[in-house]
Chain A
Amino acid sequence: DAGVIQSPRHEVTEMGQEVTLRCKPISGHNSLFWYRQTMMRGLELLIYFNNNVPIDDSGMPEDRFSAKMPNASFSTLKIQPSEPRDSAVYFCASSRDSPTYGYTFGSGTRLTVV
């Protein structure tokens, strides 16, 4: 099992550019979560999906952020246009629909917007 795979690991972009972060969940997991982590705000839940359907996007900071899950094996988080305050580590996690199992997190994407 390769775990949750995120790409890229690091992204440096200029302010105003579009950024796309990618996530491949564990096969058989039907829930997917996007988190953002900064020193100031800690780990924040941005959005989560169940069976490819967005369930709660109340954590998405503003309209510049969007997330999609076109199928069970792929999700994207897009920021357009990016701003320096978007600099953070973005984590993707997946889980099964049961309290018996915890989340499995990916290694994260470190985004720097200059």
Chain B
Amino acid sequence: DAKTTQPTSMDCAEGRAANLPCNHSTISGNEYVYWYRQIHSQGPQYIIHGLKNNETNEMASLIITEDRKSSTLILPHATLRDTAVYYCIVVPLGSGTYKYIFGTGTRLKVLA
């Protein structure tokens, strides 16, 4: 499975866009990029995923570079409730069950 590299921590001002990078330079053509976040003491929460096209949902946008070696999760207007640890994971396509291996993630702190 491809590994990911994320910055350990980031700060963002409330109301501004939070851009969280992830490097997955060894990603294979059949692997998706998933993003989860974990707010203190809670279970991880699914945010978004993509294969090669940019994706947007009500929570965030995912920008994947053309070579697929990196991606950026964008929270367009960060709020204090977005303070959490954000995990970037790559998961192989195929039939059957998908096993997630979590790294250490990025600890995002949104500042008032």
Contact = CB atoms under 8 A, between A and B. Distances in A.
Contacts of A106: 43
Interface string A19-40: 0000000000001010100000
B97 A93 contact: no
A4 B103 CA distance: 23
| Interface magnitude class on chain A | 20 to 34
Nearest to A98: B98
| Interface magnitude class on chain B | 20 to 34
Contacts, number: 56
28 contacts: A4-B43, A33-B99, A33-B100, A35-B102, A42-B103, A42-B104, A43-B44, A43-B87, A43-B102, A45-B100, A45-B101, A48-B97, A48-B99, A55-B97, A56-B99, A89-B41, A91-B43, A91-B44, A93-B44, A97-B97, A99-B98, A102-B46, A102-B49, A103-B44, A103-B46, A105-B43, A106-B43, A107-B42
Interface of B: 32, 34, 36, 41-46, 49, 87, 91, 93, 95-104
